[in-house]
Structure 1
Amino acid sequence: MGVFLVLFAETRLLVGFFLPGDSLLFTAGLLCTAHAGDKVHLSLLLVLVAAVAGAVAGAQTGFWLGRRGGRALLARTTNRYLVEGTARARRFLARYGHGRAIVLARFVSVVRTVINPLAGALEVPAGTFALWQVAGGLLWAVGVTVAGYLLGSSIPGVDRYLLPIVGIIVVASLMPVALEVRRSRRAGVPSRRRDRDGAVDR
């Protein structure tokens, strides 16, 4: 139940980017193995069902919330971060196409949280979104969980290294976001310099 609730919140609510989706799935996979120890041992089948259900239901709910109220919010918002985030989402969808963008977003922390309501607000076709978010949800939830399970099955006492492993996963999931922010800031520096130079010339 905990796996379902966390993934549902992470993929539905805009505040969900604080929740540890990748690390939770990987850790749950580890705890499904025989080497996980006697204190906590989860059922792989139940974890997979809860993970897929939470990821799919959360994304679909986020999409419909964006479809119902997102357009009006974006039309009147003056929040710089929301405006910039919407612009990046537009570019992301245009660059990769709806299908690839929705699937790829599953594997990037923060992006998988905001892409669902923004896809609804930006009028991505409902059928297209449903098809690709289910495909991406299956690939992400099952893939990350099974990766943790396979690692735990192959390394005895892997639970002793749980914290370093989770730390690596968190850093890896945030790396694409950090690189995108850095690229955006670098791209913005020349334009600001041109604005200042133009102001001086005038």
Structure 2
Amino acid sequence: MEHIQLAVNVLDAKSLVASVGAIGILAIIFAETGLLVGFFFPGDSMLILAGVAASSAAPAVLGDGAQMNIGVLLVGAPLCAIAGAQLGHLLGRKVGPKMFDKPNSKIFRPEYVEKAEEYFEKFGPAKAVVLARFIPIVRTFLNPVAGTLQMPAKTFLLWNVVGGVLWTESMLLIGYFTGDQLAPVIDKYLLPAMALIILVSVSPIIVEVIRERKKKKAGEGAVEAEAQTAESVAGGRHRKH
């Protein structure tokens, strides 16, 4: 029960990392991406703190005995993330329609499929699968929804590997290379640190939204220019008559 309580609150990711060790972290990564009930795990903050646990700052930040092997994490985390997402995709292909056809369900709602369809249409399958890795909860539900929407297995596997590697390695290396800087302040400024982690997590989707808005404005400007040109041409014709 203690570990479950720690997992629910993202601010307790530090205690979670110190408690479960490297094997526990890898199991949680698999659960968060593959088992739909794992959406509440603090994946991003946990991975960054796992990177800290593999750095020289581990004893100062997490206490004695918390030191982890960065090699094990860099190999194991992406493998578990990829395997978990593949399981989610498989579940979606096999039982997706039944799973999400529950209007009264608090977890498996038909709206998730509709939102995922919009997400796929907006960014395309490749970007959708990769970007979902950096968004809490979405990275859990997008995999079975992709299976439900019959996204080809080979296509999903390719971008699942790309997204899984980018997500896990970037989070781990942030913690590993900034561990010494985080050590003196992580206890006092844990809340701002977690806010920064969340910002880093959602930054890819923010960039995409900004790009989409720029494209939309450019498109609207082009349409408006064409309309003005057409109006000018039509006005000229009328004046000739």
TM-score bin, normalised by smaller chain:
0.7 to 0.9
State the shift of 1:77 in Å: 3.0
- Counterpart check, 1:24 vs 2:52: no
1:86-125 maps to which residues of 2 (within 5 A)?
Answer: 86-125=113-152
1:28-177 maps to which residues of 2 (within 5 A)?
Answer: 28-37=50-59, 39=64, 40-74=66-100, 76-79=101-104, 82-154=109-181, 157=184, 160=187, 163-164=190-191, 165-166=193-194, 168-170=196-198, 173=201
State the shift of 1:9 in Å: 0.5
Q: Please give the alpha-carbon distance, in whole angstroms, between the structure 2 residues aligned to 1:22 and 1:87.
A: 26
Q: What fraction of aligned residue pairs are identical, expressed as a percent?
A: 39
Alpha-carbon contact 2:102-2:110 (below 8 Å) kept: yes
Per-residue CA deviation, residues 13-56 of structure 1 (Å, 9 max, x unaligned), is: 22211111101100000111112226121111111122112101
Q: Please give the alpha-carbon distance, in whole angstroms, between the structure 2 residues aligned to 1:41 and 1:159.
A: 17
Length-normalised TM-score, structure 2: 0.66
Q: Please give the alpha-carbon distance, in whole angstroms, between the structure 2 residues aligned to 1:2 and 1:159.
A: 22
- The 10-residue stretch of structure 1 (60-69 or 152-161) with the greater mean CA deviation from structure 2: 152-161
Q: Please give the alpha-carbon distance, in whole angstroms, between the structure 1 residues aligned to 2:185 and 2:83.
A: 32
Residue type of the alignment partner of 2:94: R
Per-residue CA deviation, residues 111-149 of structure 1 (Å, 9 max, x unaligned), is: 000000010011001100000001000000000100111
Residue type of the alignment partner of 2:30: F
Counterpart of 1:12?
Answer: 34
Gapped regions of structure 1 (runs ≥ 5): 177-202
Q: Please give the alpha-carbon distance, in whole angstroms, between the structure 1 residues aligned to 2:150 and 2:57.
A: 47
Gapped regions of structure 2 (runs ≥ 5): 1-22, 206-241
Per-residue CA deviation, residues 85-131 of structure 1 (Å, 9 max, x unaligned), is: 11100000111110000000000001000000010011001100000
Alpha-carbon contact 1:35-1:157 (below 8 Å) kept: no
SS state at 2:136 partner: coil
- The 10-residue stretch of structure 1 (162-171 or 10-19) with the greater mean CA deviation from structure 2: 162-171
Residue type of the alignment partner of 2:179: G
RMSD of equivalent CA atoms: 2.6
- The 10-residue stretch of structure 1 (151-160 or 53-62) with the greater mean CA deviation from structure 2: 151-160
Computing the radius of gyration from Cα coordinates, the structure with the larger value is: 2
Higher relative contact order (CA 8 A, sep 6+): 1
Count of paired positions: 177
Q: Please give the alpha-carbon distance, in whole angstroms, between the structure 1 residues aligned to 2:194 and 2:76.
A: 20
1:186-201 maps to which residues of 2 (within 5 A)?
Answer: none
- The 10-residue stretch of structure 1 (78-87 or 27-36) with the greater mean CA deviation from structure 2: 78-87
Q: Please give the alpha-carbon distance, in whole angstroms, between the structure 1 residues aligned to 2:134 and 2:181.
A: 24
* Distance change (3 Å), C-alpha of 1:27 and 1:126: same
SS state at 2:39 partner: helix
Per-residue CA deviation, residues 50-100 of structure 1 (Å, 9 max, x unaligned), is: 2112101100011001111102334x4334761211110000011111000
Residue type of the alignment partner of 2:175: G
Per-residue CA deviation, residues 138-194 of structure 1 (Å, 9 max, x unaligned), is: 000000100111111445545545733235425765797xxxxxxxxxxxxxxxxxx
